[in-house]
A = this chain, B = another copy of it.
């Protein structure tokens, strides 16, 4: 029966597997995550994944969809801005939201980490993720970039590479954490540092777009 009974300790096993799966997949990536560790964290038997989801891959897909739902609630696509926000504010909000999602340690902390994992170590789920999650956000960023330059000053390719440059900067701080920590010890990613980072990436990118819109070499 689906109704919660005394047999299941509070939350259903299925839900605990989704939660534990999110954690472990985000930490280790799909391939290096083990079903055994996920089940251990969910306080479930090794066979639980296969019983509830079929196999490891379909658990992963379920985790991704679950993460999407949670994340869209917490970080809506409109970034919580008013319709008449300036392009500059929209860029700032985009970058802030991006960084917060990646470094989030809160409830479903792992959505951003799962996405950034998937970008560098793709699985069979990548096609769907690109279509449903990444492309919409990327289009949104491109439209912000377009609005930041006088009309017609940036080619379609320039808009695209600018957007890539912005995304690349944000992801770098997460991917290369191990290296950055060694290059600059005693750096922590507390909320305050993330705000400074967001401010830096925003300003740096505004400068980059500005210069490209100015055209030519100098």
Q: Interface residues, chain A, CB within 8 Å of chain B? A: 31-32, 119-120, 122, 126-127, 130, 134-135, 138, 158, 160-162, 164-165, 167-173, 175-176, 178-180, 182-184, 197, 200-201, 203-212, 217
**28 A-B pairs with C-beta separation under 8 A:** A119-B175, A119-B179, A120-B120, A120-B175, A122-B178, A122-B179, A126-B179, A130-B183, A134-B179, A158-B200, A160-B183, A161-B200, A162-B204, A164-B173, A167-B172, A168-B170, A168-B171, A168-B176, A171-B172, A171-B175, A200-B212, A203-B208, A203-B217, A206-B211, A207-B207, A207-B208, A207-B211, A207-B212
Chain B: CB-nearest residue to A178: B122
Beyond A160-B184, A168-B172, A178-B119, is A203–B207 a contact (Cβ under 8 Å)?
Answer: no
Q: Which of B165, B167, B171, B178 contacts A204 (CB 8 A)?
A: B165
**Shortest beta-carbon distance from A193 to chain B in Å:** 10
